[in-house]
Amino acid sequence: MTSANAHRSTFFFFFFFFFFVLIVFLSFSPLSQSFPSPPPSSHTNNSTDRHALLSFKSLLFDPTGALASWNDSVDFCRWPGVTCSGRRHPQRATGLELDALGLSGPISPAIGNLTFLRSLVLSYNNFSGPIPGEIGSLSQLVNLTLRRNSLSGEIPPSLTRCSNLQFINLRSNLLKGEIPRDLGLLSNLKGINLWGNQISGTIPETIGNISSLRYIDLGKNSLEGSIPESFGKLTNLLVLQLNTNKFTGEIPSSVFNLSSISDIYLGFNNMTGALPSFLFDQFPNLQSLILYSNNFYGPIPSSISNASYLYDIELFQNQFSGAIPSGLGNSPYLWWVELSDNQLEAEEDGHWRFMDSLTNCSNLNLLALEGNKLGGFLPSSLANLSPGMTTITIGRNRIAGTIPDEIGKIVNLTTLKAHENLLTGTLPSSMANLRQMRVLNLEGNKLSGQIPASIGKLVQLNQLILNSNEFNGTLPASLSNLVNLQTLDLSSNRFSGEIPPELLDLKSLSIEMDLSNNLLSGPLPAEVGGLTSLNWLSVSNNKLSGEIPSAIGDCRSLEYLYLHGNSFQGPIPQSLGNLRALRELDLSKNNLSHEIPNFLGRFMLLQILNLSYNELEGQIPGDIFLMKPTAVSLQENPRLCVRDGSSKLNLSKLNLSNISVCDDYSTSSSKRNHFTLAVKILIPFLAIAFCSSFIFFVFLAFRRRHLQKKLSFKPVEDQFIRASYSDLLKATNGFSESNLIGVGSFGSVFKGIMEPDQTLVAIKVLNLQQHGASRTFMAECEALRNIWHRNLVKILTACSSTDFKGNDFKALVMKFMRNGSLDQWLHHPDPSNSGSRKLNLKQRLNIAVDVASAIDYLHNDGHAAIIHRDLKPSNVLLNDDFCAHLSDFGLSKILAGDDESQTVSLGLKGTIGYVPPEYGMGRCSSTQGDVYSFGILLLELFTGKRPTDEMFKDGLSLREHVETSTPDHIVDIVDPNLLDNRVEEMEEEVKCIDSAIKIGLFCSLNEPRERMEIENRYDTYAIFS
């Protein structure tokens, strides 16, 4: 689908570019003088146009200065973008074309005073607000092109007064409402493009009266109802594009009389009906037939054999049935055939004749037949398809036979999916010629034999999926040559022997490696630690033995780890504690011994922990009982025990009701219990007293040494360095501009290299001239001195000293985050990378979970809740692995005792757009305020829109914009970078994004008590992400 859409977009671009040039040429040629023109009023002169243009400019923000020369020193006819070309009135503006100049702001109503205007083109800018109704005064207007802006409101009904209009292009805006009912009055209209708006209602019947129409594009809106019967009168229509709406009913029979039509796009609707057998006879010029994702049924018309110009046919996700017509490939231009997910059949050899016809299509690029009821034997003619083919998908059918020996002739093949069929035989040796192959999926067949070593020549492979077959022999070491491989699934076969160590050194593996359900033996090689980017690893149900290598702890990206059903022995390695991202861990049915490590109960994302059927012993860590009972399995470990007093309810939920009590906690040790209780009470009391004393003495020391050159705080974690002003000066090359990486309200941040270890750090230097900066410094130190979390920025040390001129100097030294801030990734494309810098869906979900984890820790896991009070994307920093770290605690507040009852007395805390509404009413800071900011951050993360975006005004906020668009129009509001163009992938992505956005909406409710609790939000994220 991605390639098809790209090709169609290119096709349409050239088609409509030619079409538009033709219109403009005709409009400005002598032939156009036949159009009636109202005579100008006697008092009208060219000053009217100049004043109108200056009024138009006055409302705009012009960041590039494109309109700087629009002034009285230059004749307005020579202003950039302005054309004066009338014969009778050469000093009147006839064209205003300002493409892609970065202009923003509303379109001035004064545009209606340019009464001689024939072409108005304002595409690829950021114009906002409504289209002014005064545009209806432009009676000579021929071309109106406002595509790719942020225009809102309804299409003005006055537009129908522009009787000379030939082309309307309002594509990709935010327009709502209905299509004007009187649009049919525009009798000269040749093209209308409203794609990618939020227009609703039905298509006016009157459009069928515009016999001059050649192009209709109403795609990606919320239109409903049926296609008007009156469309059958559009005898000059070439393109009908109604994709991605809510249309129902059948294609009107009158439409099949439009012999001129070349392209029909009705995909992603709810239409139904059978296609008439004569369809392609009635449409002799048809090039594209796009009907995917509807409810059409019946056979594919046999008249397709007469479709001499057919280029693209996409009928997937319907209910078409019967045999595929044998003349499918009679068009020499055929490029794209997508018939997946229907009920098409092939039970006899004759039903596969369409494959023979396709061998004549030298331009064929894609053939997709998966998800049908195709049976019989796979024809050998498959190997005779065009060498230029890139994609063949025949999976999820009932196809028998073997993979043709000559499949290697299709040398440009990048995707071959034949999964879930009845194929037998071995992998052809000619597959080694498919050097462009990226996806090979043969899952769920009856293929056998060994994997040939020559498969290692397919170095472009991203996915190799051969599971659930009957392959045998050893795993070829040549698999290690697949340096681009991301997914390897060889599970459920009969492979034997040891796992080649070099196979586990594939750094590219990032999605899945599944070797489960085979006959593999020997140890799990220590090279497994090289899979540092892998998300899923399974070697379960083999005959592996030895200890679990400690190197597995280097696989820090693992979320799913399955080692069950082997003969592993020894302890659970402590290095597993590094796998903080784990969601599922299954070590059951082995011979593991020793105690259960304490860290297993502290994995915040862990949803499944299965340690059953081992030889584990000792006390079950208390944190295990805090996990959801359905997530934990500890059965059949007879040497496990619990301390006296463990909840019987928890034990029964874990199916451990008969477990023994550990000796160290026998019921006779009541004195020990009293002692333990006393210690639990006394230690926190002594700790608080000690901390208070420590803070007091540090404060005294600070007062005494205020005039000294240097005073360093101990690092928050580990004794890192003692930094003086001189050290920081040297580390930043004298705080040079080349080292400056950010400027905030209370200071600047520099990149530096600290000696003696050449450690790369970020140094936040406070601007002490700024009111409140010193207080910010102390607040940040106080907030971070006793906390540590993987998603909080690590403060290495702090320096409070004087510079060489005797001025006070304060700085924080932090761990450097190479990937900058979330704000930069969302809103500031990397100019060095041609604007391709963007975050994918998985990265954004992980970032959301990371930030939620950090806030959860601040609110709930410390001795006192810490309120951040300035949660926003610029305060979320990303490390090398895009793990998010919350930073900037300059506005944080520590709650203890009755602190929560205090009101805000120092003004509004936080950043506009992210501050909860209750702060603006003088209410106290609270953890629920952070929850609100987190909700707004979530909405920004998945829409790509700042809460302060120019489109949010007149009472409209980011939250309201999102809320009114969910769930039906969620595709219209999400960041376009998040959506895959393929239908199946996009549907799953939209579901996931919808879940995230719902959490954002619940978190950002106006009433604090109605917002989600931080624990609830975090649990929800653990489930859907």
Each residue's pLDDT tens digit, 527-537: 999 999 999 99
**Does residue 313 form part of some domain?**
yes
pLDDT of 298 over the 70 cut: yes
The region that residue 371 occupies, defined by phi over 0 for left and psi between -120 and 50 for alpha, beta otherwise, is left
The confidence band for 985, taking pLDDT boundaries of 50, 70 and 90, is low
Tell me the average pLDDT of the chain.
Answer: 82
pLDDT, average across residues 20-27: 40
pLDDT of 122 over the 70 cut: yes
pLDDT of 997 over the 60 cut: yes
pLDDT of residue 772: 58
pLDDT of 588 over the 50 cut: yes
H or E element, residue 848: helix 841-860
DSSP string, 245-300: SEEEEPPPGGGGG-TT--EEE--SSEEEEEPPTTHHHH-TT--EEE--SSEEEEPP
pLDDT of residue 869: 82
Instruction: Tell me the CATH number at 722.
Output: 3.30.200.20
Lowest mean pLDDT segment, chosen from 704-718, 871-885, 959-973: 704-718
Query: Which of 816, 845, 867 is the C-terminal boundary of a domain?
Result: 816
pLDDT of 19 over the 50 cut: no
pLDDT of 631 over the 60 cut: yes
The confidence band for 830, taking pLDDT boundaries of 50, 70 and 90, is low
Q: What share of the chain in percent tops pLDDT 90? A: 54
Query: Which of 783, 816, 849 is the C-terminal boundary of a domain?
Result: 816
Instruction: Tell me the CATH number at 862.
Output: 1.10.510.10
List, for residues 763-775, the tens digit of each pLDDT value: 888 877 665 556 6
pLDDT, average across residues 490-512: 94
Identify the bridge partners of residue 521 per DSSP, sorted by sequence position: 543
pLDDT of residue 745: 63
Compute CA 837 distance to the chain's CA centroid, rounded to the nearest angstrom.
Answer: 13
**Is 408 within 8 Å of 385 (Cβ atoms)?**
no
870 is catalytic: yes
pLDDT of residue 15: 40
Q: What share of the chain in percent tops pLDDT 70? A: 80
Lowest mean pLDDT segment, chosen from 165-179, 235-249, 280-294, 878-892: 878-892
For residue 734, which amino acid is it?
A: G
The confidence band for 906, taking pLDDT boundaries of 50, 70 and 90, is very low
The confidence band for 515, taking pLDDT boundaries of 50, 70 and 90, is very high
784 vs 364, residue with greater confidence: 364
Question: Are 835 and 799 part of one and the same domain?
Answer: no
Question: Are 904 and 890 part of one and the same domain?
Answer: yes
β-pairing, 167-169 with 150-152? unpaired
pLDDT of residue 669: 34
pLDDT of 862 over the 90 cut: no
Instruction: Report residue 56 as tokens.
Output: 């138009």
β-pairing, 759-766 with 747-754? antiparallel
pLDDT of 574 over the 70 cut: yes
Exactly one of 263, 870, 949, 975 is catalytic; name it: 870
**Does residue 931 form part of some domain?**
yes
Preceding amide of 967 cis, omega within 30: yes
Query: Which of 816, 843, 864 is the C-terminal boundary of a domain?
Result: 816
**Does residue 78 form part of some domain?**
no
**Does residue 963 form part of some domain?**
yes
pLDDT of 429 over the 90 cut: yes
pLDDT of residue 759: 83
Question: Are 851 and 877 part of one and the same domain?
Answer: yes
Question: Are 803 and 859 part of one and the same domain?
Answer: no
45 vs 788, residue with greater confidence: 788
pLDDT, average across residues 779-798: 73
CA distance 479 to 453: 8
β-pairing, 660-661 with 639-642? parallel
pLDDT, average across residues 649-658: 58
List, for residues 51-73, the tens digit of each pLDDT value: 999 999 999 999 999 999 999 88
pLDDT of residue 434: 95
**Does residue 175 form part of some domain?**
no
The confidence band for 778, taking pLDDT boundaries of 50, 70 and 90, is low
Question: Are 798 and 832 part of one and the same domain?
Answer: no
The confidence band for 1006, taking pLDDT boundaries of 50, 70 and 90, is confident
Per-residue three-class SS string for 586-615? ECCCCEECCCCCHHHHHCCCCCEEECCCCC
Instruction: Report residue 440 as tokens.
Output: 């090979």
Question: Are 803 and 900 part of one and the same domain?
Answer: no
User: The domain containing residue 1025 runs over which residues?
Assistant: 820-1025
Question: Are 757 and 855 part of one and the same domain?
Answer: no
pLDDT, average across residues 606-612: 91
pLDDT of residue 691: 38
pLDDT of residue 1023: 36
Question: Are 872 and 759 part of one and the same domain?
Answer: no
Question: Are 831 and 977 part of one and the same domain?
Answer: yes
The answer to whether the predicted template modeling score (pTM) of the entire model surpasses 0.75 is no
pLDDT of 650 over the 60 cut: no
What 3-state DSSP class applies to 373?
strand
List, for residues 708-751, the tens digit of each pLDDT value: 323 233 333 343 456 788 888 888 888 888 888 877 766 788 89
pLDDT of residue 549: 96
Total structural domains within the chain: 3
pLDDT of 682 over the 70 cut: no
**Does residue 949 form part of some domain?**
yes
pLDDT of residue 383: 94
**Does residue 388 form part of some domain?**
yes
CA distance 189 to 516: 63
Lowest mean pLDDT segment, chosen from 3-12, 225-234, 278-287, 661-670: 3-12
Q: Is 893 annotated as a binding residue?
A: no
**Does residue 371 form part of some domain?**
yes
Question: Are 746 and 886 part of one and the same domain?
Answer: no
The confidence band for 903, taking pLDDT boundaries of 50, 70 and 90, is very low
Instruction: Tell me the CATH number at 374.
Output: 3.80.10.10
Question: Are 846 and 737 part of one and the same domain?
Answer: no
Q: What are phi and psi of 764, to 5 degrees?
A: -95, 110
List, for residues 819-828, the tens digit of each pLDDT value: 888 988 888 7
List, for residues 447-483, the tens digit of each pLDDT value: 999 999 999 999 999 999 999 999 999 999 999 999 9
DSSP 476: P
Instruction: Report residue 644 as tokens.
Output: 């006296």
The confidence band for 163, taking pLDDT boundaries of 50, 70 and 90, is very high
Question: Are 851 and 953 part of one and the same domain?
Answer: yes
pLDDT of residue 788: 75
pLDDT of residue 24: 40
922 vs 266, residue with greater confidence: 266
